Amino acid sequence: MQHSTARFMGVSGALVLSLAVSGCSDSGSDSASSSGEASITFWGWAPGYEDAVEAFNKTHPDIKVSYQSVQPGAKGGYEKMLNAVQAGNAPCLAQVGYETLPSFAAQGALTDVTDHAAADEDDYQEAAWKSVTLADRVYAAPVDTGPMALFYNKKVFDSLGLKPPTTWDEYETAAEKIHESDPKRYVSAPYLDYDYAGLAWQTGASWFGTEGDAWQVTMDSEANKRVADYWQGLVGKGLISDAPMYDQAWYTGLGNGDIATVVGAVWQAGVIKGGAKSGSGQWAVAPLPQWSKGDKQVGNAGGSSTAVLKGCENTEAAWEFAHWLGTDRETFGGLVDKAALYPAAKSLLDLPQLTAADPYFGGQKIYGVFAEASGRVNASWTWGPLMTKTTADLNDGLGKAWAGNGTITAALGTAQNKTVSEMKKQGLQITE
């Protein structure tokens, strides 16, 4: 959207209860037709998904999948899904990021498909499988993962005699030289929500954990403060652009060299290529800078699953499609080309698309960098049960901090306090 993705550790009693409830089948919108053909509806937004559904329908005459494109999860897709679950007319399947599955579980929005899925466990990377498993039950099929690397404008770096930084200290030095060369040039734009989480993830910081049946919230830890202080220092030196990620100003900056790097997941390759076409041939990919020279720590950002929502009556057919989407070679090859998705399935790691030279990146075989990175992602990262609210509160503070109004550390602390307060309201157990 990494061989290692967020894993779910223990879950609180309240979350287990909601999972048990969601295993019951309400009357959903999908059903078997009079001819015996299973009818499944799938909501998602990834480029290439519509073509994948069409290919599935051509080769699976007993199952008809109808695809509906929705807004990306954080931009309204998840709210639409949860509203549909509450109204009793949700689709059987939906694209749900690993980071959001615990939130869907906490709201009783998932259906247990362990009986259908268990036999396919070995098809996936171990940590990816853990990402769709809650309280030892399976609720989704892994699709892609998001190991991180450094996208950098090689033309800009070469013009200044700079090499890709191997440490964050070197990154800061490069940032200073880039800005000195032209006051309109910056090393990076701000990072929010899950993109920012990847920065913390790399250094071994955590946001959530569990102890028995209780949640731990650690967004204001010393490890998190270290990451926050580093990026706050770049803000203080005027080295960070004010162009929001995914805004047209950001794409323009990537295209003309005014924004020289993106610290991001593998799927960012598709985002950059699609939105900053004028930068073609200028960009390259390098391993993430490290906090200590010689380290090989990697963060993760994104990655998604095909989740089975509450009310799905055709769970066997739903799993058949969900599993196929993440494991079919021809189909996933198209998803690599169209969306730069990196497979969670073991058998797809040798796809020819993952060894092809990319003209946009100067002919570099960029997926080799991510293949090496994927095995180095710390699989112990845990997402919390209310990530939609957590990230909304965090983004409010981060937006101000990147603009120089407040600090990233304060934004993390505020998000933690609001998250803990809401968790208590919902009856979730919390331990210090």
Handedness of CA 154, 156, 157, 160 (dihedral sign): positive
Region 86-111: what's the mean pLDDT?
94
Does the pLDDT value for residue 32 go beyond 70? Answer: no
How many H helices and E strands in the chain?
17, 14
Predicted pLDDT at 36: 64
CATH 3.40.190.10 fits 13-145+302-353, yes or no: yes
| Secondary structure (DSSP) of 375-399 | TTB-TT-B--TTHHHHHHHHHHHHH
Q: Could you tell me the pLDDT band of residue 126, with boundaries at 50, 70 and 90? A: confident
Range(s) within the chain of domains with CATH label 3.40.190.10: 13-145+302-353, 148-300+381-425
Predicted pLDDT at 47: 92
Predicted pLDDT at 93: 98
Measure the CA–CA gap between 161 and 155, rounded to whole angstroms: 10
Region 55-62: what's the mean pLDDT?
97
Measure the CA–CA gap between 101 and 130, rounded to whole angstroms: 11
Predicted pLDDT at 212: 83
Cβ atoms of residues 200 and 367 within 8 Å: no
pLDDT digits (tens, 9 = 90+) for 347-371: 999 999 999 999 999 999 999 999 9
Report the chain's mean pLDDT, rounded to a whole number.
Answer: 90
Region 39-57: what's the mean pLDDT?
97
Predicted pLDDT at 30: 61
Helix axes 329-339, 315-327, angle to 10 degrees: 60
* Region of residue 167 (phi > 0: left; psi between -120 and 50: alpha; otherwise: beta): beta
In the block, which residue shows the tokens 């967004």?
219
In angstroms, what CA-CA distances link 313 with 30, 119, 360?
A: 7, 20, 44
Measure the CA–CA gap between 310 and 429, rounded to whole angstroms: 24
In sequence order, which ranges of 112-238 are alpha helices (DSSP H)? 114-117, 126-131, 154-159, 168-181, 193-202, 222-236
pLDDT digits (tens, 9 = 90+) for 311-332: 999 999 999 999 999 999 999 9
Q: Could you tell me the pLDDT band of residue 16, with boundaries at 50, 70 and 90? A: very low
Q: 10 Å Cβ neighbour count for 7?
A: 20
Residue type present at position 98: Y
Predicted pLDDT at 213: 82
Determine phi and psi for 143, rounding to 5 degrees.
-120, -70
- Span of 9-18, 169-178, 231-240, 320-329 with lowest mean pLDDT: 9-18
Predicted pLDDT at 17: 40
Does the pLDDT value for residue 106 go beyond 50? Answer: yes
Measure the CA–CA gap between 173 and 99, rounded to whole angstroms: 33
Q: Could you tell me the pLDDT band of residue 144, with boundaries at 50, 70 and 90? A: very high
In angstroms, what CA-CA distances link 402 with 190, 230, 237, 268, 288?
A: 6, 12, 12, 21, 21
Predicted pLDDT at 31: 55
Cβ atoms of residues 422 and 223 within 8 Å: no
Q: Which residue(s) pair with 151 in the sheet?
A: 262, 285
Does the pLDDT value for residue 35 go beyond 60? Answer: no
pLDDT digits (tens, 9 = 90+) for 182-222: 999 999 999 999 999 999 999 989 999 888 889 999 999 99
Cβ atoms of residues 256 and 278 within 8 Å: yes
Predicted pLDDT at 1: 42
Find the largest Cα–Cα distance for the chain: 70
pLDDT digits (tens, 9 = 90+) for 378-408: 878 889 999 989 999 999 999 999 999 999 9
The tokens of 48 are what?
A: 């290439």
Residue type present at position 25: S
Cβ atoms of residues 96 and 304 within 8 Å: yes
Angle CA(268)–CA(291)–CA(158) in degrees, nearest 5?
Answer: 55
Q: Could you tell me the pLDDT band of residue 28, with boundaries at 50, 70 and 90? A: very low
Region 409-416: what's the mean pLDDT?
98
Q: Which long-range contacts (CB under 8 A, 24 or more apart) does 77-82 make?
A: 77/43, 77/45, 78/103, 78/104, 78/388, 80/43, 81/43, 81/109, 81/309, 82/107, 82/109
Measure the CA–CA gap between 197 and 206, rounded to whole angstroms: 9
Region 141-149: what's the mean pLDDT?
95
Does the pLDDT value for residue 416 go beyond 70? Answer: yes
Predicted pLDDT at 23: 44
Angle CA(141)–CA(355)–CA(3) in degrees, nearest 5?
Answer: 35
Cβ atoms of residues 34 and 59 within 8 Å: no
- Span of 31-35, 159-163, 200-204, 257-261 with lowest mean pLDDT: 31-35
Does the pLDDT value for residue 101 go beyond 90? Answer: yes
Measure the CA–CA gap between 171 and 248, rounded to whole angstroms: 25
pLDDT digits (tens, 9 = 90+) for 213-250: 899 999 999 999 999 999 999 999 999 999 999 999 99
Residue 264 contacts by C-beta under 8 Å, 6 or more apart in sequence?
148, 149, 151, 195, 198, 271, 301
Does the pLDDT value for residue 164 go beyond 70? Answer: yes
Q: Could you tell me the pLDDT band of residue 268, with boundaries at 50, 70 and 90? A: very high
Residue type present at position 217: V
Residue type present at position 289: P
Q: What percent of the chain has pLDDT over 70?
A: 92
Predicted pLDDT at 262: 98
Measure the CA–CA gap between 335 and 329, rounded to whole angstroms: 10
Class of domain 148-300+381-425: alpha beta
Measure the CA–CA gap between 385 and 277, rounded to whole angstroms: 38
